Amino acid sequence: MTNQRDYLDFILEKLKERIQKINQSLAQGDKEIEGMHEYYWENYTEMDQYGYENFDNQQALLNQINMNQQQLKLKQRFRRMMDSPYFGRVDFQYEGEDEPEIFYIGIGNFAEDTGKTPLIYDWRAPVSGLFYDFDKGEASYQAPGGLMEGEITSKWQYKIRRGKIIYGFESDMKIDDEILQAELGANGDVQLKNIIRTIQKEQNAIIRNTKDRILVIQGVAGSGKTSVALHRIAYLLYHDRKNLKSSNILILSPNGVFSDYISHILPELGEENIQEMSFDLFAYQELRDVSYDCEDKYHMIEQAMRDSEVGKRCAQKQSGEFLDQMEEYLLFLEDELMNFTSVEYRNYRIPSSRIIELFYSKFLDVPLLSRMKAVMEYLLDEYETLMGRELPEEERVVFQEKFTKMYETADLYGIYSRFLEYAGYAPLPDVPWEKRLIPYEDVYPMLYMKYKLYQPENRRNIKHLVIDEMQDYSRMQYLILSKLFPCKMTILGDKAQTMDEKMQDVTRFLPKILGKNIRVIEMNKSYRNTVEIAEYAGKLAGMTDMEIFERHGKPVEEKRLTQKSQVLDEMEKNLRLGEEEYETAALLTMTEEDAKSIYRMLKEEWGDKIPLSYVDRDSSNFQKGLTVTTFYLAKGLEFDQVFTVYPSGERGMLTQAKYICATRALHELYMYEM
């Protein structure tokens, strides 16, 4: 251990030296920037008339700013490494060599100077695959120059915190079960943990997958699929820096709290944070010109918990049959919506026959409500060429109005409402824009219709899309996404957590939408919960093929209560929040009304005795202590203790709700029926 301590001290000293050099470089860079600014203001009036000197000065300034930013990023990474520089070591003897080379593995590359051999290798580097994929003995890794073969003669695992070795030992296995148990048995945090120290072989294969354009991860609750997906993004950014930047990636996440929960992972792994948003929010923004507001998904879930007909109707409006009806209606609109007339402008006349010919032949591939604009632009170019001049803006508007009037209506709200009647449903209320509220069940059908009738905005800047909670997206939503984002995708979810009465396995229809070259990987091993909790949750979902990591804990406690005050009594007996105990706990209910009611009761009884927070659909952060919220807002999160309050009897999506609640618990689960 003395040698290990000596090596750690050596690394820490080198990190300090490198940080000092960066500080000097940053100070010098700031002086350079200041000097460039002074030079510009003193000399800009005398710079050459063509602006070459000004351009050169601006470019030099921009280059220096970029260099400073790169230095700052390096400094941030090295400061993080001062806490824990590395977590693994592999001694690898290349084929034909007499002595093994030693590779230390950490959160990022570190060398004494740029270009020198690293003292620590990034966990994403090719050679680091030896640590994750092999035990002692024959091993290989794929380097840029080809396959490197040899033998692992020794492997070490470390835990270093605040620059001190907590443990370090030689191990035959990649991740010793005792180490994994210690990591998984630790208390819950208010942020998702990075897993670079405990990545399993099957997880590593997913993270380092660069071949598959569409990668679908079907994983049981607690299998680490979200962590694996985020680590995969970090790996892809590292692997393809020339073509892929953080601004080229978009994560569709369930809600603001979940976004906060995962927000630190990529910066922790040495990458910039990336764009995150919910698909619902995106849809509402896209329909802002159609309606004043839209119902949100949580409103629909609340209704469906009370009335199963709501869920059924929503499912019907996302079904293949409904889509077929819409496609049929859209064909009907090709004639029904149009009223062609000849266009006369000054002494120029365009016969209606010419407009019809262009509309139904040359521009037939343009969506219906964008097509007349394409026809108009084409004929306007013809007119301007003939006249030998460009029309001023005010004249173009007059010209355009004549073409726009050939649509009987361009109001998407009204067109969709007519379609509902055509399909046998009640129409939307005929009200002015400021009084319009689109029911959630109609949000995505209307958005689908919009992209069928209007040319969607080009989103080519997104090169990789991450879809979390894939089981909550309908066939129609995937059709919309495939149209908007023709890019690589990582799609993940758990079919048992479907927000519907029936379990939905989207992998059955995804190949028909995204193409046959989809790689589906199943992650059937649960790491999050104790054996007792995982088995209980598995029975709720009727799962028989789930593997459970061997970590035991307290049996699940089930009780029938008759009034809400008893919930308080039970929690007083079992809640274990404190410095020497747990850090996070949750009380989960089926509806927002119940969550608010119990939160008020707890606040009145306990006041400030414990850290207590309430999470609703507008919340954007996750805090330590006791969180009161609904099951659907807790998706993706985890807590040391979970207390669930649910109604008796069978209704709506109660089974899925109970399963979601159960799988949020790391160590203790209490199920209270009322």
* Tens-place pLDDT, residues 560-609: 998 888 999 999 999 998 877 898 999 999 999 999 999 999 999 888 88
The pLDDT value given to residue 369: 95
The pLDDT score that the predictor gives to residue 48 is 61
Q: What whole-number distance in Å separates Cα of residue 557 and Cα of residue 643?
A: 10
Q: What is the CB neighbour count within 10 angstroms for residue 335?
A: 8
Task: Residue 451: name the closest of 417, 424, 485, 427 by CA.
Answer: 485
CA distance readout (Å), 259 to 436, 467, 557: 30, 13, 31
- Rounded to an integer, what is the distance from CA 646 to the centroid of its chain? 29
How many other CB atoms sit within 10 Å of the CB of residue 293? 13
Model pTM score: 0.81
The answer to whether 61 and 44 are in contact (CB under 8 A) is no
Name the token pair of 486: 């023709």
Instruction: Read off the pLDDT of residues 514-523 as tens digits, 9 standing for 90 and up.
Output: 988 899 999 9
pLDDT > 90: what percent of the chain?
46
- CB–CB of 157/176 below 8 Å? yes
Overall size of the chain counted in residues = 674
DSSP 607: T
Distance in angstroms (rounded) separating the CA atoms of residues 656 and 645: 14
* Residue ranges in the chain modelled with pLDDT below 50: 1, 173-175
Residue type at position 578: G
Q: What is the pLDDT of residue 287?
A: 95
- Contact between 277 and 253 (Cβ < 8 Å): yes
List the strands of the sheet with 488-493, edge to edge.
275-277, 249-252, 464-467, 488-493, 214-219, 518-523
Geometric angle at alpha carbon 442, from 360 and 620, rounded to 5°: 120
Contact between residue 152 and residue 92 where contact means Cβ atoms under 8 Å apart = yes
Residue 167, amino acid: Y
**How many CA atoms does the CB half-sphere of 607 hold within 13 Å?**
2
Q: Is the dihedral of CA 413, 418, 419, 423 positive or negative?
A: positive
pLDDT value, residue 665: 93
pLDDT at 230: 85
- Quote the pLDDT of residue 467: 93
Burial tier of 326 (Cβ tally within 10 Å: 0-12, 13-18, 19+)? buried
- Contacts of 94-100 spanning 24+ positions with Cβ under 8 A: 94/148, 94/149, 94/150, 95/149, 95/150, 97/150, 100/151, 100/153, 100/154
| pLDDT digit string, tens, across residues 630-656 | 999 998 888 999 999 999 877 667 888
Per-residue confidence (pLDDT) for residue 107, from 0 to 100: 86
SS (H, E, C) 265-328: HHHHCCCCCCEEECHHHHHHHHCCCCCCEECCHHHHHHHHHHCHHHHHHHHHCCCHHHHHHHHH
* Alpha carbon distance 301, 314 (integer Å): 10
- The SS3 assignment for 557 reads strand
Q: Is the separation of the CB atoms in 495 and 218 below 8 Å?
A: yes
Beta bridge partners of 251: 276, 466
